[in-house]
Amino acid sequence: MSTNLSVNINKIATLRNARGENAPDVVKVAKDCERMGANGITVHPRPDERHIRRADVYALRPVVRTEFNIEGYPAPEFMELVLSVKPEQVTLVPDAPDAVTSSAGWNVTDNADFLRDIVGRLKQAGIRASIFVDPDPRQIEAAAAVGADRVELYTKPYADLFPTSPEKAVAPYVEASKVAHNLGLGVNAGHDLSLINLEFFHARVPWLDEVSIGHALVCDALYLGLAETIKRYKECLRV
């Protein structure tokens, strides 16, 4: 089974916003990423629009030809946006509005009624629903129970432990993926995956549908160029 690479372009928007103009152009970068081999484009619009803006989401929808994934906390404004744009996938994250970046998965068991309603609305609109979770079998089981199509495994703990104990770092994710697969869920992964740790993760974790990578990929592109960087990330997913 092949694993798709979805490129998160939030950091491109952060760079653009620093000057208040339109360079770099996030729409052009998204199209270029696809041309260079990306299997999808991910954005995470936040309420303060400090990187991706609502206008960007509307501008990207007609030009993304691979798979469009929108991440975010399902506040009313976010749901209005995604139900209007109808991306292929929405990834639900539990971030507070002022969060710098995602720092934990959902406690699905404690938010089951809320998430069941959100997932139902997404699926009724023909949008694949993915829930961002820690590699905890109980939360994965709860995600299946509320009707999710996929889970996205939060991989920062893996990235932090990988340099010293790679097998220990990856073990919870191997088990989590098995649990998800047995429940009929697709498996995505993301957060701090990089050229350093991605190949090992992909080789060990079964049934991995997609990885979403932004910060590390953009950092690598400063040195390698965007085309070469995407090529190298894709090579990590061919093992």
Q: Is 18 helix (H, G, I), strand (E, B) or coil?
A: helix
**Residue 172 to residue 33: CA distance in whole angstroms:** 31
Q: Which of 67, 71, 152, 210 is catalytic?
A: 71
210 flagged as catalytic: no
Residue 233: C-alpha distances to residues 3, 55, 194, 222 (Å): 11, 29, 8, 15
E-state strands within 94-180: 128-133, 150-154
CA gap 42, 208 in Å, rounded: 17
Handedness of CA 200, 239, 231, 92 (dihedral sign): negative
Q: Out of 34, 67, 152, 191, which one is annotated catalytic? A: 191
44 is known as an active-site residue: yes
Coil, helix or strand at residue 95: coil
User: Could you confirm whether 51 is annotated as catalytic?
Assistant: no
Catalytic annotation, residues = 44, 71, 191
